[in-house]
Amino acid sequence: MAAIWIPKRLVEIGLVNTAAENPESFISHCEIEYQSRVEAAAREVLVQRRSIVMLTGPSASGKTTTAHKLADCIRRNGSYSCVISLDNFFKNLEDYPRLPDGSKDYENVEAIDVPLVNRCLAELLQTGHTRIPDFDFLSERRKEEWLDLDLNGGVVVVEGIHALNPALTASLPRSKVYKIYAGLREEYSYRGQRVLPTRDIRLARRMVRDYKFRGHSLEKTLGMWDNVCIGEDQFIKVFKPEADLLLDTSFSYEICCLAPSVTPLAGKLPENSPYAERLYQLAGAFSLCTPIDDGLIPADSMLQEFLGE
């Protein structure tokens, strides 16, 4: 039976700012809530005796870190667990699907080797062992040497934007597969008007991460965002009904930690930039939030994926 989707929560920023007056307590509460959701997911996987977890979510939903935290929880409950990224199954550069303008369409399921995913997962179920490709993102090609993987009677967590696409698990018994959709379920309002929808929070996460850790310019991230969102609607969200569990990756305190990074970006792009107004609007929304020093984020928090050192 399909999972019941938790309605989004619309929270007044004033309430968040009040909680931010005691940041340590606020952060601790939110982190405990998130961890409890991951632990509940791990229990469900083990109780139902699933060997393969397919975990997806839109860009900057925290799916990669959540996948590793889920595997950690499964191990703490006494079962072996490991994580496979679908990124390892990308095709070589010349085989990528293309957008109408000729650029590479990374969001398209045809960018990954679907038959090979099926084969590797089937081997894990049948023999407990498989070999998966190792992808080099600099050359955008597979490395010559592949990676050996032993399941050891445990659970493999497969994470990636196409993880819920039925084509990836077509050769597997459904009773052995557990499907999780990770996404933010909390949005924020100011004076009764929604000012920070989940998609804007994810964009802010991605902007900060790409700038701090990947050396991407603001224009590059903003320029890609529309295609990212189109890809989500076409290739990710359409399979949300496939999920057995819908895992909330929201942190109420997060907007206060993003604020010191996002608010100063207003006016950072030239006025003639096609993204200047979008950036100004986003920075204005985050300026409503009471800043919290991102140094207070716990070292093991999922948010370190976006805001950590």
d(CA 281, CA 142): 40
Nearest Cα residue to 135 out of 96, 85, 99: 85
Q: How confident is the model at residue 251 (pLDDT cuts 50, 70, 90)?
A: very high
**pLDDT above 90 for 106:** no
Residues 163/114, Cβ–Cβ less than 8 Å: no
If you average pLDDT over residues 197-221, what whole number do you get? 90
Of the listed ranges 88-102, 187-201, 235-249, 293-307, the one predicted with least confidence: 88-102
Q: Which two tokens stand for residue 287?
A: 């300026």
Residues 189/13, Cβ–Cβ less than 8 Å: yes
**pLDDT above 60 for 1:** no
d(CA 61, CA 12): 21
Domains of the chain, start order? 9-307 (3.40.50.300)
Of the listed ranges 106-110, 153-157, 301-305, the one predicted with least confidence: 106-110
Q: What is the pLDDT of residue 104?
A: 79
Task: Label residue 189 exposed, middle or buried (CB < 10 Å: 0-12, 13-18, 19+).
Answer: middle
Q: What is the pLDDT of residue 250?
A: 97
